[in-house]
Structure 1
Amino acid sequence: MKNILVPFGLSNEKTTLSLIQYAIDLAQELGGTIYVAQVFKELPRAGSLPSVNKTLKEITASSIEERLASLDKKGVKIIALPLEGDLLESIPKFNLEHAIDLIVLSPENSDIKNPYYLNEISGSLVKKTIIPILVIPEMYSFSPIKNILMAVKSGIIKKENALNPIKEVLKAFGAELKLLQVKTVDFLPEDSEFDKDLGEITSSYKSSENATLFQGVLEHLNEHYPDLLCVFRRKRGFFAKLWEKNTVLKKDFESRIPLLILRGVQ
């Protein structure tokens, strides 16, 4: 994960700076570069001057750099990234040219009055981009990742290189991967088959029967005490249903530890 992107402005500034600091600490371990992205509204083409839009881009870049000045960069390369227009359109375009390996996001705040785990923009990034997503709880401090719990319903992984991010984490931290297979009511016989690469990186395996994958995760979190929870974004199953809408409610899913979301299909 050499190129890590963190959007600026999806949460309040204190939370966002804490998120970027987490990304810095992670990038230091992985040897990565961080792009801190913020959108600016380009002026309408009719009657506008290219130099004006160039100035807006420069102002946005300077604003990002000023707000990053308080962080401990730990020698990590951080690039201010002004993006024109809409974040959901700009990030995929940038990814085509620069191969972003990971997007780091924060969920909605932990206030019990806020019903959302992911808001419209964060949820849309999870749903619509092909880039792995790491969701870091509000004001969460970085610590070495030693114990990973991966929750799956099916052991079949159809997307090429889908496991690369988790392999890099396992190698960088010398971590262990514990695999939890949750068998729900729509569990199919072929779901019992396991991808060879997944089997090779798994340290232990356990299965359980639950109404939803989320219930299975909740049941086993206290048993495993993971530093990282990993799930797949698939076209079929519980997590696919979660992102039918762009937002995710806390009552449907919430993680109090870092959550890595991988794309399970092409």
Structure 2
Amino acid sequence: MKNILVPLGLSENSITLARVQYAIDLAKELGGTVYAAQVFKELPRSGSLPTVNKTLKEITASSIEEQLSQLDKKGVEVIALPLEGDLLEAIPKFNLENAISLLILGPESGGIKDPYFLGETSGSLVKKTEIPVLIVPENYKFTPIKKVLMAVKSGSIKKKNALLPVKEILSTFGSEIKLLQVKTADFLSEDTEIQKDLRAMITSHQSSENATLFQGVLEHLNENHPDLLCVFRRKRGFFAKLWEENTVLKKDFESRIPLLVLRGSD
């Protein structure tokens, strides 16, 4: 996870900066670089407008730098990244050229009465991007990731390099990884087979029968007190129904620890 990108402007400024600080602290451990990204809207390209657009980009970059000056960078390279247009298009485009390893987002910050865990923009990025996504709770302070709870329905991981972020966490922090396999009503016999690379990583393995995925995860979160929850997003799998819409309701799922979402299949 050498290149970590954090979008600005999706939450209140103080909450966003706390998330950038988390990214910096994580990057220091991993030896990575942090990109703090903020979008600006370019004007139509005609006449002298390219000069105006250049100014808008420079103004956005200066705004990012001003925000970053409030943080302790701890020797980590933190790059102000003004992006043209819409985040949902600009981030994948930037990723093609710069190989972003991790995208750090936050849940909705509308308070306890807000019904959403993920809003329209953050939910869309989780659903549509190829980049692994780490969802960090509000004002969550970084601690070494010693215990990981990886929740799956199927033990088959078909997407190439899907496990790389977890492998890097394991090698950096010497983490213990507990695999929780949640068996719901539509569980298939072939789901019990655990992929070789995954099997080699885990410290322990436990299965659970629950009516819903949320019940299974909640039960074992309270039991294991992990530093990180890891799940997979795929067409038929543990969190498939959550990603049908761009938003995720708290009643369907919520995590009060960092949540790592990986692609489980192409």
**TM-score, normalisation: structure 1:** 0.98
Deviations 1:125-169 (A, max 9, x none): 000001000000001011111000000000000100100000001
Q: Distance in 1 between the 2:19 and 2:13 partners?
A: 10
Which residue pairs with 2:141 in the alignment? Answer: 141
Percent identity reads: 75
Residue 46 (structure 1) shift: 3.6
Distance of 1:183 and 1:21 partners within structure 2: 37
Q: Does 1:116 align with 2:111?
A: no
Q: What letter is aligned with 1:237?
A: G
Is the contact made by 1:102 and 1:132 (CA closer than 8 Å) also made in structure 2? Answer: yes
SS at match of 1:239: coil
Shift of 1:47: 4.2
Q: Is the 8 A contact 1:212 1:238 kept in 2?
A: no
Q: Report the CA distance between 1:119 and its aligned residue.
A: 0.6
Amino acid of the residue matched to residue 59 of structure 1?
Answer: I
SS at 2:96 equivalent: helix
Q: Secondary structure at the match of 2:16?
A: helix
Counterpart AA for 1:95: N
Contact 1:159–1:264 (Cα < 8 Å) also in 2: yes
Is this contact kept in 1: 2:152–2:238, CA < 8 A?
Answer: no
91-100 vs 37-46, greater mean Cα deviation: 37-46
RMSD: 0.9
Indicate the residue corresponding to 1:163 in structure 2. 163
CA contact (8 A) 1:24 1:76 kept: yes
Correspondence for 1:32: 32
Q: Which amino acid aligns with 1:104?
A: I
Inter-partner Cα distance in structure 2 for 1:204 and 1:131:
27
**For residues 193-208 of structure 1, what are the structure 2 equivalents within 5 Å?**
193-208=193-208
8 Å Cα contact 2:154/2:237 also seen in 1: no
SS in 1 for 2:182: strand
Distance 1:111 1:93 in 2: 32
Q: Which residue number in structure 1 is paired with residue 60 of structure 2? A: 60
For the residues of structure 2 that align with 1:110 and 1:196, how far apart are their CA atoms? 42
- Quote the Cα distance in structure 2 between the aligned partners of 1:110 and 1:80: 26
Structure 2 residue aligned with 1:8: 8
Quote how far apart the aligned CAs of 1:113 are. Answer: 1.1
Structure 1 segments of 4 or more deviating over 4 A?
none
Q: How many Å separate the matches in 2 of 1:228 and 1:104?
A: 13
Whole-angstrom distance in 1 between the partners of 2:253 and 2:202: 25
The CA distance in 2 between the partners of 1:110 and 1:149, in whole Å, is: 27
**2:182 aligned with 1:182, yes or no?**
yes
Structure 2 equivalent of residue 80 of structure 1: 80
- Give the superposition deviation at 1:104: 0.3
Q: Partners of 1:219 and 1:234 in 2: how far apart?
A: 23
Structure 2 residue matching 1:235: 3-state secondary structure: coil
Contact 2:40 2:60 in 1 (8 A): yes
Residue 95 of structure 2 corresponds to residue 104 of structure 1: no
Higher mean C-alpha displacement, 230-239 vs 132-141? 230-239
Question: What displacement does 1:10 show?
Answer: 0.3
Q: Give 3-state SS (helix, strand or coil) of 2:137's partner.
A: coil
SS in 1 for 2:240: helix
Paired position in structure 2 for 1:249: 249
CA contact 1:110–1:138 (8 Å) conserved in 2: no
Corresponding position: 1:233 with 2:249 = no
**Cα deviation, residue 237, structure 1:** 3.3
Residue 227 of structure 1, CA deviation: 0.3
Shift of 1:49: 2.2
Count, aligned residues: 266
Deviations 1:159-188 (A, max 9, x none): 001000000011111111000000111111
What is the CA distance between 1:214 and its match in structure 2?
Answer: 1.7
Deviation, 1:238, is 4.5
Query: Where do 5+ consecutive residues of structure 2 fail to align?
Result: none
Q: Which residue is equivalent to 1:215?
A: 215
Judge which range, 196-205 or 107-116, deviates more. 107-116
Alpha carbons 1:118, 1:247 under 8 Å: kept: yes
